[in-house]
Amino acid sequence: MLHFEWPWLFLALPLPWLARRFLAPAPRQAEAVLEIPFAEDFAECFVSSPENRSRTGKKRWIVAMLAWLLLVGAAARPEWLGEPLDLPASGRDLMLAVDLSGSMQTKDFRLHDQPVDRLTVAKQVAADFIRRRVGDRVGLILFGLNAYLQAPLTLDRETTAHLLEEAEIGLAGKETAIGEAIGLAVKKFREGPKNSRALILLTDGANTAGVVPPLKAAQLAADAGITIYAIGVGADEMAVRSLFGVQKVNPSSDLDEKTLTEMATLTRGRYFRAKETTALEEIYRLLDQLEPVAREQQTHRPTRALYIWLLIPALLLAAWLLLPRLQEGARR
């Protein structure tokens, strides 16, 4: 749509008429005259007719009014406003650390009434959570034997969710280095601005690799103002077929809930237990409430200045009006 930044300048449009109506004409300066006794014989060659003078004067008046209209229009700063665009709001910094150790392939979850492994459910639920974080910068760490930054803190949530969906078990090794994952998150948080910071750590086991103890890493996170939300995944009971028939086992016997709880408490966060798909979905909905988006989405309308398209014709018309006077001055 067309928009004028200073529309009040259109009040200047009647100024030429007011000046002509209420101001006295400028006095004409006396000029030298060459008298020719027989000038009447050549009058038609040197003097235009009253009709031609009237037509020329009317044309110049129309051109002058058009130039004035264009000049006032340019001074009012016309702009073309584009369609509103959503601006990314810089809210919280959220880092997801997802366990890719070998135990994540245990099929003790169900999705659409089909048994699936823990990582499949974790990827689907966490990807939906990432896409909901409008205005937040979201990063992704994958860890196993080592911890790797898969996606830096970014406003491109769709790419982060896609990278999570491409993660595979064993990609970072078969063991579990929880302390390394927290330490890497602390390092990446420190490299960015000091927004509200939270680490969501999802694992199904205990720390079995790495050189940084989990509690030591959690203390570093607490000193850096990072809140840790730990999620322990895995069912408490699972039916397993063997030579002796179907037996019920605890597939989450290796889950170190004590350490995960201490880490969360140390950083003023919380520990959650996800034993099934619906519980994991509920945990992420609760995280939306605990770490809400910092502010509402803002919009911006791109503008394109149009005054130049009025100013140039106004100057050209003004130059055309002044051209006869300039030529007359040059002849003198």
Residue of 17 and 267 predicted with greater confidence: 267
The structure tokens listed for 305 are: 């200045």
- Can you tell me the distance from the alpha carbon of 159 to that of 145, in angstroms, rounded to the nearest whole number? 25
**pLDDT digits over 43-83, tens only?**
444 445 555 556 666 788 888 889 889 998 888 888 888 77
Domains and CATH numbers, the chain: 2-82+301-331 (no CATH), 88-290 (3.40.50.410)
**pLDDT digits over 263-293, tens only?**
999 999 999 999 888 989 999 999 888 877 6
Mean pLDDT of the chain: 82
Tell me how far the alpha carbon of residue 232 is from its chain's centroid.
33
Give the pTM.
0.62
Residue of 26 and 107 predicted with greater confidence: 107
Q: What pLDDT, on a 0 to 100 scale, did the predictor assign at position 293?
A: 60
Dihedrals phi, psi of 96, to nearest 5 degrees = -100, 130
Q: What pLDDT, on a 0 to 100 scale, did the predictor assign at position 38?
A: 46
Residue of 38 and 192 predicted with greater confidence: 192
**pLDDT digits over 129-179, tens only?**
999 888 788 999 999 999 999 999 998 899 999 999 999 988 888 899 999
Closest CA to 226 of 257, 259, 195, 202: 195
Q: DSSP 3-state assignment of 302?
A: coil
DSSP-assigned beta bridge partners for residue 200: 96, 229
- Can you tell me the distance from the alpha carbon of 144 to that of 126, in angstroms, rounded to the nearest whole number? 18
pLDDT at 200 over 80: yes
Cβ 215 vs Cβ 259: under 8 Å: yes
